[in-house]
Structures are given as structure tokens and as C-alpha cells.
Amino acid sequence: MKNKNTVAIVLFVSFAVTVGILHIVLESATLLSILVWALILSSVVFIIFGTGSKKDSGDGVFEKKELLTITESLREGLIIYSPQFKILVFNPAAEEIFLLKKEEVVGQIIEPKLSQTEKFKTLTQIIFPSLASSVSQLSEINVWPQITEVFIDEQNKKFYTTLNRITDDREEVVCFLKLIKDESREQAIIQSKNEFINTAAHQLRTPLTALNWALENILKLSESASPETHEIAAEAIKVSERTLKITNDLLDVAKIEEGKFGYSFKNVDVVAFIKGIVDTVVPFAGQRSSRITFSHQGIEELYLSMDPDRLGLALFNLLDNAVKYNTEHGIVSVVLEKVSGDDFVKVSIQDSGVGIPENEKEKIFKKFYRATNAAQIEPNGNGLGLFITKNIIARHGGEIGFESHAGRGTTFWFTLPVKTTTTEESASLFKNFS
């Protein structure tokens, strides 16, 4: 019995940890579902190893009320089947996903030829993913549990599946457990949200541009008028420009999530490129009593494949943040250097500002997230700049990160590949962040 309990504990912990990792990667399963999954495994293991004999397997194992109660409470579909693909458990969530009653499925042996039957087509493709329109392996091959992303084009369906196996004392498979999460509804909601943002932002941008132009004219005309009128016009332009930036950022995010954030790569001298962006920020830094320095570590000229408009936006976002959240009379240092055996260049932007609280660092690249101390200093930010910046750097084949100490400043850095082929290979593998 001691050995059986050890096996049960090992399986329970390994499965719980793996599903926890899946939750972090996919950000789709809830903590409750992860805990329920762990309970399912521990219940199954206990039933097999704790109360049954070696002969206990197949249908008899799954007649326990304890297991059925747990499986029926799951929001995700759960299918348990034998090595011969005989369905043993088919929970209510699975009934909803596949539009099948468990009475129609339990006891049925699922074979590939059933994919030709409309009624069992989706279920068969989930049991045998190679039959689906498209399948992506998210875990290592031959490493359990097996995690896959399955697309069924005819129904415009997308599923995440997690497959694990239960073995007996002789390491023989007793049954397989497959968890199915239907992402189709979530994807439809995301698409609908993006379409709304896209449409609303487009509708707002045109009148905002016209308003900004009108206010600029008013500002010029008010120069000869009273100081109060000039001041009001200047403040109105600031509000208009800020609103226009928020609108443009929303459009950029929508394009990123739809995979339509277009790029136009060309060979650009990175030294001159960075110097040009720094020069545009110098006046703003002067208004904030900050100073910007640029060091390129002996690199006088180096051409990289980049989209100067997109990468310029990313660098400007980082410099803008460094100036905004710096201390009075602080310094912003920009450094360009070669790293990784000259295969990459690294751009660092260091400030002497407020820093990022330790408990908020992991959220800093999330959409709409702003550190609490940053929000107090600059209430009007939208929390989209770093999300957009990270996507731009990734699309260029680079990485981005930061080091920060609250009250002592922050250093954001990003890398760019020197070789054009590296950029192209990285770009082809790039997937947008959500």
C-alpha cells in the first residue's frame, strides 16, 4: 500500500504542476478548473491504486460516485477512454461541446472511420487529432501530458486538449484522460471586441484630427489676443493630441491582435536611427528638467533590417516613459552595444526614476496595465505602449526585458539581430501576444 500511495502522490503532483503551466501559457483555464483537474487525477489514482485490485480496470473503475461527481462539475469537456478507445466517461461539458449524449457515447469504441460520420466527426477528430484540419503540438513529443491546439475549419472551431494516461503497478496503461477546452466562443468574443475597437477608433480619428487642426489655428490666432485665450487653446491642443494618441494606440493593438500590423523592412543605419529618435525627445526631456545621453560603444555605422516607423514607435515609447517617470534633473542614458558574439545589438534605456514595484513587474507588458506609482505621476496614460513595443521587438526577431528597483530607476533593454536571415527566421516564427 505504501508503494501505491507513493505512485498516487507522484502522479497527482506532476499532473497538477503541468496543468498549472498550461494555465500560465494559455491564460485560458481558471484556477478552479486546475484544482478540479488535480482532484480528478487524485481520485482516479486513489480508486485504481488505493481501493482496487490489480484486476480492477476498464468500466468498473469509473462506476464510483466520487469520480462522477467531480467530472460532472467540470466546465471543460472530459473524456476517459480505454487503450482500445472505448469511451468510459463523457461528462456534461463534453456533451455540450460535441452535441452528443453520454448514452450515445459511453461504451462506444471510437475508430478513425467514424470521422466520416457527421454525428461523430468532431469527437473523432479530437480523439485522433491528426484527422483534424490543423493541429499544433504545444508540449514535447512523448512527454506526458500531451497538450495540443486543434483547429476544425469546417466548423470554425478551436480547441485546447490535454491528454494524460493512468498506468497500473506494471506500468501498463489502464486508461487515458482527455480534457477539452472549447476556445471558439472566446475567440468570437475577442474578434467582436477587436472589430468594435477598430470601428470606434477609426470613427474617432477623423474628427479628432480635424479638431486638432482647428485648435492649432485657434492657438496661432490667439497669440495676439489675451494670454488667457492663448493658454486655454494650448491646453486644449494637449488634450486633443493625447486623445488622438489613445485612439491610434487602440488601432495599433487591434491590428496586432488581428495579425494586420503591417511591416516594411529595409536596411537602416541603427546608429543614425537611434540618434534621430533621441533628438526628437530632447525638447520634451528639457521641459521635464531631464537630460538624455546616447553612447554607441565605438559603433560608428551598422545597417540592420528593420521597419524604421514601427521600431521608431517602440523606441519612442521607451524614451517617453523614461522621461515621464524620471526624477527632476535626472538623466536618461541610451546605450547601443553588440552582444552574443556580435550576432545581436542591444539597446538599453536607463533612467534614474521611480522604478517599478517588485510585485507588479510580471504585469508590466500586459494590455492596459500601469504600475501604481506610474499612474500617480501620470494619470492620463493608457497602458498600451509597452504591449505594442514588445510586439514590435518580437516581430524584429529580438527580445525585450528590464531591470528595475523601486525608487532607484529602471533600465529597459531590447535586442535586434545583426544578420538579416536571423530577422526573417524569427519573424516567420513570430506569434502575436495577447
Confidence of residue 34 (pLDDT cuts 50, 70, 90): very low
Q: What is the pLDDT of residue 258?
A: 63
Return the closest-CA partner of residue 157 out of 187, 137, 200, 118: 187
Task: Using a cut of 0.85, tell me whether the model's pTM lies above it.
Answer: no
Q: Residue 364: CB partners within 8 Å, gap ≥ 6?
A: 356, 371, 386, 402
- For residue 260, give the 3-state DSSP assignment: coil
Give strand pairing partners of 291. 331
pLDDT tens-digit map of 271-315: 999 999 999 999 888 888 889 999 998 899 999 999 998 999 999
Domain limits of the chain?
Answer: 2-182, 189-258, 266-429
- 172 contact partners, CB below 8 Å, separation of at least 6: none
Checking if the pLDDT of 419 tops 80, the result is: no
For residue 82, CA distances in Å to 94, 275, 320, 350 come to 17, 65, 59, 58
Confidence of residue 69 (pLDDT cuts 50, 70, 90): confident
| Environment class of 88 (CB within 10 Å of its CB; exposed 0-12, middle 13-18, buried 19+) | buried
Q: How far apart are CA 48 and CA 62, in angstroms?
A: 9
Q: If one looks up domain 2-182 in CATH, what number appears?
A: 3.30.450.20
Degrees (nearest 5) of the Cα angle 32, 366, 332? 145
Using the predicted structure, report yes or no on whether residue 30 has a pLDDT greater than 80: no
Residue 42: the pLDDT is 45
**Burial (0-12, 13-18, 19+ Cβ within 10 Å), 316:** middle
Full strand arrangement of the beta sheet holding 157-167: 87-90, 77-81, 173-182, 157-167, 146-152, 134-137
Strand ranges in 296-369 using DSSP code E only, listed in sequence order? 303-306, 331-339, 344-350
pLDDT the model gives residue 105 = 94
Confidence band of 192 (pLDDT split at 50, 70, 90): low
Contact 354, 422 (CB under 8 A): no
C-alpha cell at 146: 500531451
Greater confidence (367 vs 331) lies with: 331
Cell readout for 422 is 536571423
| Burial class (CB within 10 angstroms; exposed 0-12, middle 13-18, buried 19+) of 7 | middle
Mean pLDDT of 129-151: 86
The C-alpha cell 481520485 sits at 43
User: What value does the mean pLDDT of the chain take?
Assistant: 78
CA distance 36 to 32: 6
- Three-point CA angle 311, 312, 318, nearest 5°: 90
Residue 158 DSSP class: E
- Per-residue confidence (pLDDT) for residue 4, from 0 to 100: 45
Q: Classify domain 266-429 by CATH architecture.
A: 2-Layer Sandwich (3.30)
pLDDT of residue 20: 47
Query: Could you report the per-residue pLDDT of 217-264, keeping only the tens digit for each?
Result: 887 777 777 777 777 877 787 777 777 777 777 777 777 766 667 788
Per-residue confidence (pLDDT) for residue 66, from 0 to 100: 62
**Mean pLDDT, rounded, for 171-195:** 78
